[in-house]
Amino acid sequence: MKYSGWPDQGELVVGKVDEITDFGVFVDLEEYEDKRGLAHISEVASGWIKNVRDHVREGQTVVAKVLDVDEGSQQIDLSIKDVNEHQRKEKIQEWKNEQKADNWMAIAFGEDVSDERYESVANALLAEFESLYDAFESAAIHGTEALDEVDLDDDDVATIVETARENVSVPYVNVTGYVDLECPTGDGVDHIKAALQAAEGNGEVSDEIELSVSYVGSPEYRIQVQAPDYKTAESALEASAERARESISAAGGTGRYHRERETDDE
């Protein structure tokens, strides 16, 4: 979805070259609804320009810096030459990410979602995140906890998290769970140690998974898993807790797995 307002002076914008003239280049702004800017020939490239078409072509996607905005005359002055290669690549990636996020919003709330509904959800997310992409990425990695401070109802949060985890590719995800281990026998401490070793996988956990177990407060232990995707992480977390539960149960103790922390750190 495109913004209905105006860009700010100094902002970097993505646009498509719409028309090339002897005095400059007209650019349709991809991120703003019905907005068109002009890069004067002196702002297309550094140095003397004999032919503008030697530097840009119609239909080309460019990144430009907003030099001035005159809403009264509907004029936006742009500079293409003032954007370096690093800025251009970074802005293009940011724009592509927001296109992805826009698509995820459509998946989550329907292709025919009203503008009012879209803006309501988007504004709630943008109040807590730099961009919609950041919001979906965080939801994919951290689940509902990532959206705790977002002013949305539980159903909307669940919808966003489900969509994020089915569509967002992230370098890795972290998940955390807890297991309570108790053993009343005289050598109970040894059995708990054995259960913790079982939880850690006894050296047999896949190389793509990082798993650690730490003490929280008797009888609670924290299991943390880092994996390439959410499903793999969740599966590894549950398997770890189940190994600990089976180990302690076989020794006459009890084990209970839960997702939320229940005791204070000591």
Q: Which domain covers residue 232, as residue numbers?
A: 173-258
pLDDT attached to residue 208: 77
Domain end among 55, 82, 109: 82
Interval 22-81: pLDDT, tens: 999 999 999 999 999 999 999 999 988 889 999 999 999 999 999 999 999 999 999 999
Domain end among 132, 167, 202: 167
What separation in angstroms does the CA of 184 have from each of 74, 181, 219, 248?
A: 78, 10, 12, 11
Residue 1 lies in a domain: no
Domain end among 121, 143, 167: 167
Q: Residue 193 maps to which CATH number?
A: 3.30.70.1130
Q: Residue 71 maps to which CATH number?
A: 2.40.50.140
Q: Residue 156 maps to which CATH number?
A: 1.10.150.190
Same domain, 121 and 70: no
Same domain, 111 and 75: no
Dist CA 22 CA 154 (whole Å): 56
Same domain, 178 and 118: no
Q: What is the pTM of this model?
A: 0.62
pLDDT attached to residue 3: 77
Query: pLDDT band at residue 142, thresholds of 50, 70 and 90?
Result: confident
Residue 203 lies in a domain: yes
